[in-house]
Structure 1
Amino acid sequence: MFKNIFGRIFAAWMLVMFALTMLVIFIPVWIISYTPEPRRTRGFLFFGRLWMKVYMPLIGCPVRKKGLEYFAPGQTYVVVCNHNSLIDVPVTSAEIPGVNKTLAKASLAKVPLFGVLYRIGGILVDRSSEASRKQSVVEMKNALSLGIHILLYPEGTRNRTDQPLKNFYDGAFALAIDTQTPLMPSLLFHTKKILPVGKKFFAWPHRIDYHFLPPLQTTGMTRDDIPAFKEKVFRLMWDYYESNNLK
């Protein structure tokens, strides 16, 4: 009983703090939105990282990182990550070093105020529109050419199962191969404990661990290699998750 009550109070605290801390950075980020890329995303991330440095400890969910040494200076990556919770996106965007963008659900860009930040930090896609999906690929390739890392969740949607991962889609692997960009696997731990599956308006404080794995080269690969490459990354991430899922 106590946990259910506290979990709902904590969920309210998370929402209120998210809104209040977002308002602090909203105006400078809105101004930055009128600058060209990659300056726009670099500026957004500067304020976004300050935001998360305050917000995450404030809600009792500090983030610990491992594997940052795998990011080589001057190298751009396609970063893939598991997806368990709504909190994954702000955590990953803030914690990936350098300038990065993620593929973002177009409908969320309509949310007042938050939608402005969402549009700047992401490449929007309407998955029900073939034209939108094709345009998002063009924009991701252009971002990579500007030295912007692309973060993708190959499971597509949040993993609501009790398994470490859901099956992967081809998109992230096709993008890395088409652009001959190294692909870096990464894994988030504990975000499902903060926002448990199946519980409405409930949250629980817990630290987050974000681990980066050694990048995999795509030089010389073609689209024929996608199935084997995807399976290799899936197995690497699954095994790493099972052996490093700390309490």
Structure 2
Amino acid sequence: MNFLLKPLRVIYVVYAAATFLGIMFLILPPIFLASLLGKQRGGNIIFYFLRFWAHTWFPLVGMWVSRKYECERDNAPCIYVVNHRSYLDAAIAVKVMRLPFRPLGKVELSKIPFFGFIYRNSIVAVDRSNASARARSVREMMTALKAGISILMFPEGTTNDSDQPLRSFHNGAFRMAIELQIPVKPVLYLDAGHRLPHKGPMHISPGKCRVVFLPSIPVAGLTLNDINTLKQQTFDIMEAELRKYHHYPTLQQVG
């Protein structure tokens, strides 16, 4: 059976890559034109082309993205905090998050030919090795939030390849939420790690990609002294909800 499945997997991976790149090259010219309109206005337009890409690519490769709201839907800007299991997460975000929004992303990916141009015109890039660059990224995110543009952050800082629901969170999203008095909205990507796991692109597979929107966590009245409390509250809520959908070893079983 494995002998038969291996060539089918190769065909699927090649097909998924070809359609990914084909649609990307199709939207590259209008994205270039939109980029001339500036970071905010042009960036907002770019996301409509990216959404077209996502709405086209996911069905073509047999991935069915669904949204579940365990909260009221609103249009107020917020800081989305999302668990990070896969490189597929960014593509899912383009498909399901309310526009306009900007994800925070690693500056290194902006160096990839063609894709890098789209990437750096649609995200807030952060260079964690450079203090002044980090400060510039924070200012850019704050400007976006004040303009009514939501920010999406992966508070784990990197993809989680552990056997636990989450890695520990960094402070950035929670500091910004408190400083600007903008609520934190936890979001769960439940199946991205199964669709494109850390084993590599040869293990990409069709199937469901469920997204769950949890109730916003208010920050009204909180001060910077409450960063750790807000961070732990968000972590606990997201971890508990993730354990409802997937089995993970308990902390007592780990090690």
Say which of 39, 52, 55 aligns to 1:53: 55
- Alpha-carbon distance, 1:199 to partner: 4.2
- Closer/same/farther in 2, CA of residues 3 and 190 from structure 1, 3 Å limit: farther
Say which of 68, 71, 74 aligns to 1:72: 74
- Percent of aligned pairs with the same residue? 31
Higher radius of gyration, 1 or 2: 2
For these two proteins, the number of residue pairs brought into alignment is 245
Say which SS state the counterpart of residue 210 (structure 1) adopts: strand
Q: After TM superposition, which residue ranges in structure 1, 4 or more long, deviate above 4 angstroms?
A: 2-5
Residues 103-122 of structure 1: matches in 2 within 5 Å?
A: 103-122=104-123
Instruction: Supply the distance in 2 between the matched residues of 1:151 and 1:222 (Cα, whole angstroms).
Output: 21
Instruction: Supply the distance in 1 between the matched residues of 2:5 and 2:79 (Cα, whole angstroms).
Output: 39
- Aligned residue number for residue 144 of structure 2: 143
Say which SS state the counterpart of residue 104 (structure 2) adopts: strand
Q: Residue type of the partner of 1:23? A: F
Residues 16-27 of structure 1: matches in 2 within 5 Å?
A: 16-27=18-29
- Closer/same/farther in 2, CA of residues 48 and 68 from structure 1, 3 Å limit: farther
- Aligned residue number for residue 40 of structure 1: 42
Instruction: Supply the distance in 2 between the matched residues of 1:90 and 1:199 (Cα, whole angstroms).
Output: 16
- What's the CA shift string for 1:86-111, capped at 9, x where partnerless? 11002113311120001111111111
Residues 1-247 of structure 1: matches in 2 within 5 Å?
A: 1=2, 2-67=4-69, 70-73=72-75, 75-199=76-200, 201-245=202-246
Q: Residue type of the partner of 1:181? A: I
Instruction: Supply the distance in 2 between the matched residues of 1:240 and 1:5 (Cα, whole angstroms).
Output: 37
Instruction: Supply the distance in 1 between the matched residues of 2:173 and 2:166 (Cα, whole angstroms).
Output: 15
Instruction: Supply the distance in 1 between the matched residues of 2:32 and 2:110 (Cα, whole angstroms).
Output: 14
Instruction: Supply the distance in 1 between the matched residues of 2:159 and 2:41 (Cα, whole angstroms).
Output: 30
CA contact (8 A) 1:105 1:124 kept: yes
CA contact (8 A) 1:41 1:100 kept: no
- Alpha-carbon distance, 1:197 to partner: 2.4
Q: Residue type of the partner of 2:94? A: S
CA contact (8 A) 1:105 1:126 kept: yes
Instruction: Supply the distance in 1 between the matched residues of 2:98 and 2:148 (Cα, whole angstroms).
Output: 12
Instruction: Supply the distance in 2 between the matched residues of 1:193 and 1:6 (Cα, whole angstroms).
Output: 18
- Closer/same/farther in 2, CA of residues 224 and 7 from structure 1, 3 Å limit: farther
RMSD over equivalenced CA pairs, Å? 1.7
- Alpha-carbon distance, 1:115 to partner: 0.9
Gaps of 5+ in 2: 248-255
- Alpha-carbon distance, 1:200 to partner: 5.6
- Alpha-carbon distance, 1:3 to partner: 4.3
The worse-fitting range, judged by mean Cα deviation, of 202-211 and 150-159 is 202-211
TM-score, length-normalised on structure 2? 0.91
Q: Residue type of the partner of 2:15? A: W
TM-score, length-normalised on structure 1? 0.94
CA contact (8 A) 1:93 1:101 kept: no
Q: Residue type of the partner of 1:177? A: I
Say which SS state the counterpart of residue 203 (structure 2) adopts: coil
Say which SS state the counterpart of residue 121 (structure 1) adopts: coil
Q: Residue type of the partner of 1:32? A: A
- What's the CA shift string for 1:29-68, capped at 9, x where partnerless? 1100011343212211111111111100101112101118
Say which SS state the counterpart of residue 84 (structure 2) adopts: coil
Instruction: Supply the distance in 2 between the matched residues of 1:8 and 1:29 (Cα, whole angstroms).
Output: 31
Q: Residue type of the partner of 1:15? A: A
